[in-house]
Amino acid sequence: MSVSVVVLAAGKGTRMKSNTPKVLHKISGKPMLFHILDESKKLSDDITVVLSHQFDLVKESIENNYQNINIHKQDIANFPGTGGALKGVEVSGDRVLILNGDMPLVTTASLEKLAQSTAPIAMTILELDNPSGYGRVVIEDGLAKEIVEEKDCTNEQKKIKSVNAGVYCVDRAVLEEFIPKIDNNNAQKEYYLTDIVKMAVEKGLNIEPIVVNEDEFMGVNSKVDLANAEEFMQDRIKKELMLSGVIMRNPASIYIDSRAKFIGECILENGATIEGACEIENSHIKAYSVVEDSILKDSDVGPMAHIRPKSEIIGTHIGNFVEVKKSKLNGVKAGHLSYLGDSEIDEGSNIGAGVITCNYDGKAKYKTKIGKNVFVGSDSQLVAPVTLEDNTMVASGTTVTDDVPSDALAISRVKQKVVNSFFSKFFKK
């Protein structure tokens, strides 16, 4: 049985109080909508996203990151509502999974379960102590009979704690028959997708209610929800990583982007922040270090180090208060208080405390190349563009402005003067 996916994402998201479209708000580094698309792609290759509000922005963002996602523009002025969203959508699968763009925590496993139902309509149910805000589901003899939106509920119906999570799996034929028949005779004057349940029941079709978990099927409507969803997602990411071999000290204090990959045995100490699509292999990230969009292999970093995007750090020791940006370090030691930007540093080289690559002259960025077995003394500045060839030394406190040829020493230092008996004369009472 083939499955198509339709993701409803045309809503305004007023409660987010943001200029950013709701579904592009990020959870663990990735827009909410992309979490859903990534899970959907594991199930189906016929995926349609319904958009309207900030159409161009969301469409462009999808097209920049995905191929073969169909985009449908809802005629929201004439057909507002979740039922209106499906008007004119064409799908190819026998079954259609209808998802919401603001449900970033849904997993393929749960969607698969829903898709496996053989009922003409399978719908997701949340059992909530506080059902307010949701459509209530009237369930009789184990089958769903009707969904009543809160604004259309009687006082008695408001007490129902089984609510509609808003995700469905429907036979395509059922959708094709009922979507054109939905009207807007309700409190909100909207075309409710939920009306297909009532129509199907009237026709004698079974609606299977499938109870799901809030920690997967929670909708994000506000920034409070966004923070809650982030917590669920972080918890999930970290548990998976720990089970696959990553050691974490005080996991609650660690942040890991959903795109980060870990290979072999890695250690993350408390406060470690891993942003972007990092690839970290057999490495140790010490406390309060930040690693962004970089590759780390057989290395240790921190505490309190900052590895900025596009760095490649192999077999290297990075100590405290070292910042690295867009640099390749292979077999290097940079133990303390340095800035290494736009640089390439090769095996056996030692970067002393306080060494700075001066990579920017106010107009453009320049490269620093440091070969093998180079010893750069503490508190030196390397004014780029500059090359230190293999087997060279830079004396402490030097400002390197010219290339240093192999086997040479670079030193630029004012000669020290010693004035004897100075202290006692200076402080004489």
134 counts as binding ligand UD1 under rule CB under 6 A: yes
Strands 30-31 and 26-27: antiparallel
Among 117, 194, 234, 368, contact with ligand UD1 (rule: CB under 6 A) = 194
Q: Smallest distance, Å, CB 85 to ligand UD1?
A: 4
User: Where does residue 373 fall: left (phi above 0), alpha (psi -120 to 50 degrees), or beta otherwise?
Assistant: left
216 counts as binding ligand UD1 under rule CB under 6 A: no
Binding segment for ligand UD1 (CB under 6 A), chosen from 80-88, 200-208, 226-234, 250-258, is: 80-88
Q: Smallest distance, Å, CB 11 to Mg ion?
A: 7
**Which residue is listed with tokens 């995926």?**
47
Among 168, 178, 192, 255, contact with ligand UD1 (rule: CB under 6 A) = 192
Closest residue by Cα to residue 273 from 233, 307, 310, 225: 307
Binding segment for ligand UD1 (CB under 6 A), chosen from 160-168, 266-274, 339-347, 353-361, is: 160-168
Which partner in ligand UD1, Mg ion, none is near 193 (CB below 5 to 8 A by kind)? ligand UD1
Amino acid identity for residue 70 in this structure: N
- Cβ atoms of 318 and 303 within 8 Å: the answer is no
Among 3, 6, 9, 169, contact with ligand UD1 (rule: CB under 6 A) = 9
- Cβ atoms of 258 and 38 within 8 Å: the answer is no
Query: Helix 55-65 crosses helix 32-41 at what angle (to 10 degrees)?
Result: 50
Which partner in Mg ion, ligand UD1, none is near 9 (CB below 5 to 8 A by kind)? ligand UD1
* Binding track, positions 14-53, relative to ligand UD1; x by CB under 6 A: ------------------------------------x---
**35, 53, 284, 336: which is the annotated catalytic residue?**
336
User: What is the enclosing helix (H) or strand (E) of 211?
Assistant: strand 207-211
Closest CB to ligand UD1 belongs to which residue? 135
CA distance 300 to 283: 6
**Which residue is listed with tokens 């094709």?**
176
Number of residues that bind ligand UD1 (CB under 6 A): 27
Residue 53 or 372 with smaller CB distance to ligand UD1: 53
144 counts as binding ligand UD1 under rule CB under 6 A: no
What are phi and psi for residue 345, nearest 5 degrees? -130, 130
168 counts as binding ligand UD1 under rule CB under 6 A: no
Which partner in Mg ion, ligand UD1, none is near 192 (CB below 5 to 8 A by kind)? ligand UD1
Neighbours of 336 (CB within 10 A): 15
- Paired tokens of 320: 């405290």
C-alpha separations of 122 from 23, 113, 207 in Å = 25, 10, 6
Burial of 421 (0-12, 13-18, 19+ CB in 10 A): exposed
11 counts as binding ligand UD1 under rule CB under 6 A: yes
80 counts as binding ligand UD1 under rule CB under 6 A: yes
Residue 12 or 239 with smaller CB distance to ligand UD1: 12
What are phi and psi for residue 143, nearest 5 degrees? -125, 145
Q: Smallest distance, Å, CB 38 to ligand UD1?
A: 17
Alpha helices per DSSP H over 259-373: none
Residue 149 or 292 with smaller CB distance to ligand UD1: 149
Residue 8 or 212 with smaller CB distance to ligand UD1: 8
Residue 72 or 328 with smaller CB distance to ligand UD1: 72
Residues of this chain, 207-226, that bind Mg ion according to CB under 5 A: 219
User: Is 284 noted as a catalytic residue in this protein?
Assistant: no
**Which residue is listed with tokens 């202290």?**
423
CA distance 76 to 218: 24
**Which residue is listed with tokens 């506080």?**
130
* DSSP code for 135: P
346 counts as binding ligand UD1 under rule CB under 6 A: no
Residues binding Mg ion (CB under 5 A): 219
Residues binding ligand UD1 (CB under 6 A): 8-11, 50, 74, 76, 80-82, 84-85, 100-102, 134-135, 147, 149, 163-166, 192-194, 219
Catalytic residues: 336
